[in-house]
Structure 1
Amino acid sequence: MPTSPPDRPTLPPTVWPARGRHVGSGAEDLLLRTLRQRRDSGAVDAFLEPPEDEDGPGPRVFEARWTVAGDGGEDVTVRARLTLAPGSAGGQEWTLVAEAEGPWDPAWPSPAAVFWPEDPDVPWDRDAATGLRLRGINTLPDDDRTVRRLLRDAARHSWQIHVVVHEAMTPDHRGRMPLAGWLPPGLRHRVVEHRAAPQQLRAANWALQDHGVQLPRGGAVVLPGTPAPAGHDPQAFTVRSVFLDGSEPADLIAAVTRFAALDRPLPEGAEEALAALREEWRLLTLEEELARERRLVAMYAEALEAMTRSRDLYREAAERANEALAACRDSARAAEPSRAVLPRRFLTRTLERLRSLRPGPGPGPAGPGN
């Protein structure tokens, strides 16, 4: 059974996350060519490629900014950051997080289609957790235990939405159309479609019982993930009949779209990727550069003012300490010891005041996102 969500942030409605794998070679060159084409066509306002002085097999970071139409027709800015790194299973793994100025609309273009070409023969569209295709149909393995392990990995480690469809009978070519082709553009690269053959219904449900859902004969179900969203109702994301005859699976599309809109916990690693997008962003407009410089000037002015106040307080405390020290010396020369008590106490309090005025660390250098 899926566990309840832990205390971790939910996916903000403005954010589009995906993680995948490019199984071929030359992923970095492919990204650069695609981004240049998008910029030349006007699909991208600007993009930033990795610095040329970055050597070695470490991660490469690409940034892009574009605009989409909001509900009222106004322009909405989207910022996206793709990190490319060597994959543990070969190829290169990519992590893509995009954030818009308003709630994400599934009708907007897929950020993955901004960075990667839409050519179906280019092998960039593999789910990082399972290795399965994002834009195609993935048949379940023949071995029951392998099916169970595959769906467990999909629920626990994948950033994508996983859908299991049962073929009541073996479909012809019309029934072999991937679900991705029917989905809104913003969901096409966030969904992995699994297909269970007619004889695999029992094995699929044996594996799905670990996730608290069941697959109807000839129907489909959306995996809730691990942990499942708060208040998740399995029946709301179970489709009783999916006609694999080439017609639009409207009920299944609606179920996937509703699931994508849920308040779901951020997947493992997404919180760090989102923080990097917000705090390490380098592709700044002129207005953003000016705003950042103004924030830096204000921050250092505030620090300078605090240092000046501390200096004045130190000067005042030092003067009082000198007065107390002089009084102690005078009292030490006096015959009566009792006359030295008050000046010594005053000196002690003054020295304690000096220690309390010890300044904290000053402001460090501000990063691009500050």
Structure 2
Amino acid sequence: MAKNSTSSTTVPDTAWLARGRHLGPEPELDVRRNLIALKAAGVLDDFADLEPAEAARSTVLHPRDESADPGPSARRVFEARWRPADDVTVRAQLTTYEPKARRKQGEGVTWVLAAEADRRWDPHWPSPATMFWPDSDQVTWDHDTVPDVRLRTTNHLPKDDDELRHRLRECTRQSWCIHVVVHEAMTPDTKGQQPVSAFLPPSLRHQVIEHRATPEQAQIADVALKRELGLRIPRGGGVVLPTAPQGPDYDAERFTVRSVFLDGSEPTELLDRIKEFAALPRPLPADAEQALNQLRHGWHLLTPDEELAHAQGMVTKYAEALAAMTNSRDLYREAAEAAQAALAEASSGDGVPRPAAPGQGKPDVSPLSALTKAFGRFRDPNK
């Protein structure tokens, strides 16, 4: 799989970005049903369901911008607006895409979600993912773009050394999520098998993927992490993986936890490290930058105040265009009148140029120079 390129900018602190795959048969229907239910319950202010061509053609708030085009592989564009707090509005777009290449049957539909708030994002706000996708284990929207990796559950690392290293490499280079590896000191009971991400704030919960190494994988996981990322994982401990390329603020020792108790209790130290890592500046992947531009420059779901402001802006633009057309018409009319006067002057008033009389000197003004002089007055706005 191709490596994701990144831009020189970092993820804005007002934005929430995610990308994944839906493995079910009707992803757009799942989104539509959830949006309708949440609007009826008063959770959403409003939502829109757009064809990709319509989304690209009818950009409202901004001039036409290529970055606002969802692209030829887009299947559907959904917009939603809600207020996580009284003074904050969140605008979000979810776009579903056909996968670029299906390596195996049932790879599913790729989706990209970009949300942005009026101020710095609060992890305790509701997750934008559950505004579009049902928060149900029966709807398989939560698969990462890295194969065989899923949100909202624990993902056991491959037992083969090469596959394990390949998994770690793909997760750090391609995924938009935060990845955590936890080693099970002993096989946990039912409570311990629950993902630690369940203890995270709502908005952060759907940005963290947890990998588990079984008790027998202590050495193989440690060696793979050291070779691929230069990290070590203690027995019974955990580590938050860096992004690739690794940021300057990442400290491997800082984001390594010596012991994680998998008994159903809250692993406070590991959760604190995850929250700390999430607050660091992270590179903005090129695909994420495109999704954010699409949200900012291709937004359609207007509030009444925005609709009024948009209408007033259009009236002003039309008035300016009409004034410019009127001014151009007047200038053309004046130029035509001046040309006719110059031509009449050059042809002695009957439209036929007169040659100079024999022996008479060269006329002071030729017809061409008279026209040039007349039009010259219109080149200089001060005349």
Say if 2:268 is the partner of 1:250.
yes
Whichever residue aligns with residue 263 of structure 1, its letter is: P
Query: What is the alpha-carbon distance in structure 1 between the residues aligned to residue 210 and residue 320 of structure 2?
Result: 55
SS in structure 1 opposite 2:284?
A: coil
Shift of 1:197: 2.1
Query: What is the alpha-carbon distance in structure 2 between the residues aligned to residue 115 and residue 38 of structure 1?
Result: 9
TM-score (norm 1): 0.80
Whichever residue aligns with residue 176 of structure 2, its letter is: W
- Please tell me whether the aligned partners of residues 7 and 284 of structure 2 are also in contact (alpha carbons under 8 angstroms): no
Query: What is the alpha-carbon distance in structure 1 between the residues aligned to residue 336 and residue 361 of structure 2?
Result: 27
What do you get for the CA RMSD once the two structures are aligned?
3.5
SS in structure 2 opposite 1:258?
A: helix
Query: What is the alpha-carbon distance in structure 2 between the residues aligned to residue 218 and residue 204 of structure 1?
Result: 12
Whichever residue aligns with residue 79 of structure 1, its letter is: R
SS in structure 1 opposite 2:120?
A: coil
Say if 2:2 is the partner of 1:10.
no
Task: Write out aligned runs for 1:320-339 (5 A).
Answer: none
Shift of 1:9: 2.6
Task: Write out aligned runs for 1:270-289 (5 A).
Answer: 270-289=288-307
Shift of 1:245: 2.2
Query: What is the alpha-carbon distance in structure 1 between the residues aligned to residue 314 and residue 131 of structure 2?
Result: 33
Say if 2:289 is the partner of 1:264.
no
Say if 2:109 is the partner of 1:61.
no
Shift of 1:59: 0.9
Change (3 A) 1:97 1:337: same
Shift of 1:130: 3.3
Query: What is the alpha-carbon distance in structure 1 between the residues aligned to residue 188 and residue 222 of structure 2?
Result: 21
Say if 2:117 is the partner of 1:105.
no
Shift of 1:263: 1.9
Query: What is the alpha-carbon distance in structure 1 between the residues aligned to residue 223 and residue 371 of structure 2?
Result: 80
Change (3 A) 1:199 1:177: same
Change (3 A) 1:316 1:240: farther
> What residue is the counterpart of 2:94 in the other structure?
82
SS in structure 2 opposite 1:236?
A: coil
- Please tell me whether the aligned partners of residues 328 and 344 of structure 1 are also in contact (alpha carbons under 8 angstroms): no
Whichever residue aligns with residue 152 of structure 2, its letter is: R
> What residue is the counterpart of 1:364 in the other structure?
none
- Please tell me whether the aligned partners of residues 158 and 267 of structure 1 are also in contact (alpha carbons under 8 angstroms): no
SS in structure 1 opposite 2:253?
A: helix
SS in structure 2 opposite 1:105?
A: coil
- Please tell me whether the aligned partners of residues 130 and 158 of structure 1 are also in contact (alpha carbons under 8 angstroms): no
**How much identity, in percent, do the aligned residues show?**
49
Query: What is the alpha-carbon distance in structure 1 between the residues aligned to residue 199 and residue 39 of structure 2?
Result: 27
Change (3 A) 1:131 1:327: farther
- Please tell me whether the aligned partners of residues 14 and 116 of structure 2 are also in contact (alpha carbons under 8 angstroms): yes
Shift of 1:93: 1.6
Query: What is the alpha-carbon distance in structure 2 between the residues aligned to residue 13 and residue 258 of structure 1?
Result: 14
SS in structure 2 opposite 1:295?
A: helix
Shift of 1:172: 2.8
Change (3 A) 1:314 1:112: same
Query: What is the alpha-carbon distance in structure 1 between the residues aligned to residue 279 and residue 208 of structure 2?
Result: 13
Whichever residue aligns with residue 43 of structure 1, its letter is: V
SS in structure 2 opposite 1:234?
A: coil
User: Which of 197, 210, 220 pairs up with 1:193?
Assistant: 210
Whichever residue aligns with residue 103 of structure 1, its letter is: R
Change (3 A) 1:293 1:30: same
Query: What is the alpha-carbon distance in structure 2 between the residues aligned to residue 178 and residue 250 of structure 1?
Result: 13
Task: Write out aligned runs for 1:298-317 (5 A).
Answer: 298-312=316-330
> What residue is the counterpart of 1:37 in the other structure?
37
Change (3 A) 1:259 1:348: farther
Shift of 1:85: 2.5
Higher relative contact order (CA 8 A, sep 6+): 2
Q: Where does the alignment leave 5 or more consecutive residues of structure 2 unmatched?
A: 55-71
Greater CA drift, 344-353 or 93-102? 344-353
- Please tell me whether the aligned partners of residues 168 and 228 of structure 2 are also in contact (alpha carbons under 8 angstroms): no
Whichever residue aligns with residue 347 of structure 1, its letter is: T
> What residue is the counterpart of 1:49 in the other structure?
49
Shift of 1:177: 1.6
Whichever residue aligns with residue 26 of structure 1, its letter is: E
Whichever residue aligns with residue 214 of structure 1, its letter is: R
Say if 2:162 is the partner of 1:145.
yes
Query: What is the alpha-carbon distance in structure 1 between the residues aligned to residue 124 and residue 281 of structure 2?
Result: 19
Whichever residue aligns with residue 83 of structure 1, its letter is: T
TM-score (norm 2): 0.78
> What residue is the counterpart of 1:366 in the other structure?
none
Shift of 1:338: 10
Query: What is the alpha-carbon distance in structure 2 between the residues aligned to residue 203 and residue 328 of structure 1?
Result: 99
- Please tell me whether the aligned partners of residues 52 and 77 of structure 2 are also in contact (alpha carbons under 8 angstroms): no
- Please tell me whether the aligned partners of residues 167 and 196 of structure 1 are also in contact (alpha carbons under 8 angstroms): yes
Task: Write out aligned runs for 1:184-223 (5 A).
Answer: 184-208=201-225, 209-223=227-241
- Please tell me whether the aligned partners of residues 81 and 277 of structure 1 are also in contact (alpha carbons under 8 angstroms): yes
- Corresponding pairs, count: 347
Say if 2:250 is the partner of 1:232.
yes
